[in-house]
Chain A
Amino acid sequence: MRFLVRRLGFLLIALWAALTVNFFIPRLMPGNPAEAILAQFHGRLNPSSLKAIEVALGIGGHQNLLSSYLEYLRNTVTGNFGVSTSYFPVPVTTVISRALPWSLGLVGISTVLGFLFGTALGAVAAWRRGGWLDNVLPPSFIVISAFPYFWVGLLSIWFFSLTLNWFPTLGGYTETATPTLTWGFVGDVLWHAVLPAFTILLTSIGGWILTMRNNMITVVAEDYVKMARAKGLRPRRILWQYAGRNALLPNLTGFAMSLGFVISGAILVEFVFNYPGVGFLLLQAVSAEDYPLMQALFLLITVAVLVAIFISDVATALLDPRTRSSR
């Protein structure tokens, strides 16, 4: 319980830090470029969204820092991010809510799959120490994890879509199709998701394999594993129910740590594939100089990562009594 309270406290502090950083970035930049963009919208925005944008981006300049900071915090908590300038006059929250499901689906599923496959492969590699899997996997994935995500995306577009013509090059679905909940459309969506998901999977799986293998090597040397062997338990049972379970715990913490890294890579993967998710939207907002949308997206991505980390903390606490008792 104490552990959970600590982690919840940390979640709140991290959230507050992200909000504050987000508040100060535009104010610290020389010659705030948001000023010029927002000037074009004077008179066309309703007062409440204009105020929200001014407070968030540090323009207008008719308020002191503290009161605009407090108002910014209140706006953020109540979800008042103002209006997107590139999708004018659609509110920022509406623009984001259209992109969110795409990212959740693509990044969520490929991250979970990567974690599961990577952990399993790493466990087997460490179990058969010196076997072919153990000799081939670590070096090849050290190399693959050094590839830029977006470049793996470019490579797979070139090979699988342009050369072999197996998959579409861009988008989340065929543009002429109408988004409905039919088998045909769902199949179309999945067909478009294969290459981006494959890219994220391939570049992120190496990390899971290596950390799981390294944890597993330590765990396999423990006395209770030797004891299990001495009792004559079946190797498969020792592998998964004795050693694997305990080696998994540090990997779960690692899952939280590297999530931010995977999200970062996914932003570029979405960009390469023009995938209609949050990352692609963020880069579009940057090139369209849509500062309100950009700031809100940064916050959303940060909150998502922090909440995911908290969930994995809770899972670790539930699975591992040691984390609950220590500290």
Chain B
Amino acid sequence: MTARSLRRRLGAAWRFLLRDKKAMVGSIILLVLIVISAFPSWFTPDDPTAEVYNPGVGLSWAHPLGTTSFGQDVFSQLMAGTRQSVMIALVVGLISTVLSVLVGITAAYSGGLVDDTLSLITDVILVIPTFPLIIVIAAYTKSASFWTIVFVLVVTGWSYGARQLRVQALSLRNRDYLLAARARGESSWYIIGVELIPPMTSLIVANFLGAALYAVLAAAGLQFVGLGNVNTESWGTMLYWAQNNEALSAGLPLWALAPGIMIAVLGSALALLNYAFDEVSNPALRPVTTRRRRKVAA
């Protein structure tokens, strides 16, 4: 890709962000969370693990979200926990997407027996309920570490994207410009990398966001039931400790509700961006603007 076409693409992406409210809100939230997870110490007034304050304090200036029943500052824990959720979202999203692209495009491009085999594997993994499987694997590994969680989520999370990408690649496979590239005698790598993948960008991005969202929710659920490493700082583990100490009935609802709000905020950001990219690849879904409506009425 030349520098000029790259600049044009980036310009188009920037204009899309400015125009689409959903994409705008989603990317601002995501950016803020990435900054927090890169520099958590800027946002944590206190050591997140230190058990040094009065336990079970409600809202105050010193503790904007109160303290836990161990005497830790909830707000500091929340900021420190951002890193793990954001990391899991990005790492699982990235690896799953690469895997989806590899499997989906190999299947569509090769056709025949390769396609049949890969599609069968994809479909089987797609229908086996993943969360019970994750629970069983985590139960055998005992307190799953970060990379165990990443591994399990990638293994179970790539299939949906692979299926979607295969369908789109199949529909592109016999377009004229691809047949022309083949007739010119271009190599398969050139055809796939330069002709086939670029038109699928918005679907690939949507898949990245979907996989990241799945990873955030599944990892949080796993840590919430105590199958993660309960001594690390993350929103899921905060929920685990809050639940184990009956934070809700002990009158400390913020301890249990705040980490969930953060998960929901990260999840919503990913989902909003995902939806916006869906509208890019399917223009029919775009919101009807007032101008267009008026034209229809007239």
Contact = CB atoms under 8 A, between A and B. Distances in A.
Interface string B106-120: 000000000000001
Contacts of B128: 14, 17-18, 21, 260, 302, 305-306
Contacts of A305: 127-129
Contacts of A214: 282, 285
Given A21-B133, A158-B256, A221-B284, A294 B248 contact: no
A33 B140 contact: yes
A298 B132 contact: yes
B225 A268 contact: yes
Contacts of B133: 21, 298, 302
Given A154-B243, A260-B128, A260-B129, 5 more contacts: A13-B120, A158-B248, A263-B129, A302-B129, A302-B132
B239 to A, nearest CB: 7
B268 A142 contact: yes
A26 B140 contact: yes
Contacts of A286: 135, 138-139, 225, 227
A164 interface: no
B130 A260 contact: yes
Contact of A267 (B132, B142, B287): B132
A287 B288 CA distance: 51
A81 interface: no
A260 B260 contact: no
Interface of A: 10, 13-14, 17-18, 21-22, 25-26, 29, 32-34, 129-130, 135, 138-139, 142-143, 145-151, 154-155, 157-158, 162, 169, 210, 214, 217-218, 221, 256-257, 259-260, 263-265, 267-268, 271-272, 282-283, 286-287, 289, 291, 294-295, 297-298, 301-302, 305-306, 309
A72 B282 CA distance: 48
25 contacts: A18-B128, A29-B137, A29-B140, A130-B287, A142-B275, A146-B217, A147-B263, A147-B264, A148-B220, A148-B263, A148-B267, A150-B224, A154-B243, A154-B257, A158-B253, A257-B160, A267-B131, A267-B135, A268-B221, A283-B225, A286-B135, A298-B132, A302-B132, A302-B133, A305-B129
A72 to B, nearest CB: 15
Contacts of B137: 25, 29
Given A150-B221, A158-B256, A264 B130 contact: yes
B126 interface: yes
B124 interface: yes
Counting chain A CB atoms within 10 Å of each CB, the highest count among B136, B272, B288 belongs to: B136
A257 B126 contact: yes
B298 to A, nearest CB: 15
B136 A25 contact: yes
A257 B282 CA distance: 21
Nearest to B131: A264
A287 B275 contact: no
A17 B285 contact: no
B295 interface: no
A161 B288 CA distance: 41
A246 B139 CA distance: 44
Contacts of A17: 124, 128
Contacts of B257: 151, 154-155, 158
Nearest to B219: A148
Interface string B215-232: 001101100111100000
Contacts of A34: 140
Of all A-B residue pairs in the complex, the 5 with the closest CB atoms, nearest first, are A146-B267, A264-B131, A151-B260, A260-B129, A130-B288
A217 B124 contact: no
A217 B282 CA distance: 11
B132 A32 contact: no
A162 B130 contact: no
B248 A148 contact: no
Chain B CB within 10 Å — which of A10, A146, A158, A289 has the most? A146
Contacts of B186: none
B142 A33 contact: yes
A157 B260 CA distance: 14
A135 B225 CA distance: 36
A38 to B, nearest CB: 14
A14 B127 contact: yes
Contact of A14 (B124, B130, B256): B124
Nearest to B220: A148
B125 to A, nearest CB: 8
Given A142-B268, A143-B271, A305-B129, A129 B288 contact: yes
Contacts of A289: 139
A294 B263 contact: no
Contacts of B220: 148, 151
